Structure 1
Amino acid sequence: MSTYWREKFEQNFLPTETKLGLDEILLEAQDAYLGWLGASLMAFKGEIDEAKLESLDRLFNGEIPMRMAANDCYDYAINGRLRLAKDGAEQTQMNDSWGRLATVVLSARPAIEVFSPRIRGREMVLPTGLEHTLFHALVRARLDLDTHPKFDDNDAVPMFLSGEDNCGYLTLKEIAVLGQMSERAVRNAAQPTAADRLYTRKEQNQTVVDADEALRWLKGRRGFVVTRAD
């Protein structure tokens, strides 16, 4: 399975112990979308004409769907809640929503960095927290694809998530992401003297944790919520 998205969003990842609020993520989703539109106008028209910006926004109708998709992403990554598709129409809508979010966020960073668009009286911010949340969601999917029975039905899960590489294990960094804790704390938990020891093994040149053991250990961490999919 593909690791394309995870590798892209990991490039700008925040410290594993970073905790983000929903309001911050929703604002970044709005800025990513508007910044992407504004930068496109600057690239091809030389300036941001408010009328043209509004026209593009009406054409794409993307601000509200982007915020809704960001909300779903946050809810899965942080709160462990995922709504599964129940039919073909829901599957298409879900795939479009997650795919649009990932694509716009990935495009927004270079667009905002190069053109620094100012829209509605303020500078658009880089979607750093949203990139972090998308990466968090993909790491959770790696775990769920190996341990959650409802993830056996790939048609019910967003393609953005079901396309993850479920190799049967997680790295220490990925466990730190899911636990919203430092990688150092995870390494300490893997020591033989730790009270609730995290059992690791070697996979080629890296230290890894089998998925079932990762889930067992994470259940005891305050920063982790077990996935509920329905």
Structure 2
Amino acid sequence: MKSIEERKYKLELDIEAGLRITQHALNTFRDNSCRRAFSLSEMVLEPKSSSISDIFDNVFDYAVKGYTSAADCISLDDLQDMQAFLHIASSAMEFYEANRLTECENVFSAMIARAKLDLASGGYDYAFTEDGNLFISGYKDDLLTLSEVAFLANMNEKSVRNATHQTKDDRLETVKVGGRTYVTPEDGLRWLCKRRGFIPTDTLEVEAS
């Protein structure tokens, strides 16, 4: 189990790596004289402030810490910027044989998972639609994936999957849809509330750091 501080620092490094490798690709397109093998391992990455890092800061404070005051700062334009960054930077990372931006992806998924729980529990309602248009591809507010449960529990997916076995005490109840395994938000919240790594949503106006 990673601490919040460890997850936040890894997120900051992921963002900086994504920006670096995207800039390298753009420079190569402009002037192929800088075409070369790109190695992040040879660089010293230090987190720097940027527009995309500010967006991820708010998402982290809602998704991981559970601060609804941070979610109120996330606009639909921010969601689009996040998705664009993940699609572009992650693809560039793979092309240049670097590691994927796993913490960025995890935080984004945890935000969606927490919003599903909050909506189902009648608490905080963060909308991923505008005028009926869906802003998150494949978003289903009625079911959680096992990986989404794992993000919220700060556990690995294998441990969560093990908790679904019939022989387990206080097992995580699941449903099958189209051959895939899901968890209802109600069952997910019941199970998560007994997990040490889960942080419930705080609807108080806590100032996000």
1:54-133 matched pairs, under 5 angstroms: 63-82=49-68, 83-85=70-72, 94-114=75-95, 126-133=100-107
CA change 1:108–1:220 in 2 (3 A) is same
CA contact (8 A) 1:74 1:133 kept: yes
1:147-162 matched pairs, under 5 angstroms: 147-151=121-125
CA change 1:77–1:105 in 2 (3 A) is same
CA change 1:84–1:185 in 2 (3 A) is closer
State the Cα distance separating 1:220 from its structure 2 match: 0.8
* Structure 2 unmatched runs, 5+: 35-47
CA change 1:109–1:195 in 2 (3 A) is closer
Structure 1 segments of 4 or more deviating over 6 A?
Answer: none
CA change 1:47–1:107 in 2 (3 A) is farther
CA contact (8 A) 1:39 1:112 kept: no
| Partner amino acid, structure 1, of 2:197 | G
> Which SS does the other structure have where 1:150 is aligned?
coil
Tell me the equivalent position of 2:42: none
Deviations 1:87-134 (A, max 9, x none): xxx67xx23333223212320123344458xxxxxxx86523212222
Tell me the equivalent position of 1:165: 140
CA change 1:171–1:226 in 2 (3 A) is same
TM-score relative to the length of structure 2: 0.69
Partners of 1:69 and 1:127 in 2: how far apart?
Answer: 16
Partners of 2:159 and 2:99 in 1: how far apart?
Answer: 31
Corresponding pairs, count: 185
Which has the larger share of helix? Answer: 1
Determine whether 1:45 maps to 2:26: no
CA change 1:98–1:63 in 2 (3 A) is farther
Partners of 2:101 and 2:95 in 1: how far apart?
Answer: 14
Partners of 1:70 and 1:22 in 2: how far apart?
Answer: 10
Q: Which moved more, 1:35-44 or 1:210-219?
A: 35-44
State the Cα distance separating 1:145 from its structure 2 match: 3.2
State the Cα distance separating 1:155 from its structure 2 match: 7.8
> Which SS does the other structure have where 1:165 is aligned?
coil
Q: Provide the alpha-carbon RMSD of the alignment.
A: 3.4
* Structure 1 unmatched runs, 5+: 1-16, 49-61, 117-123
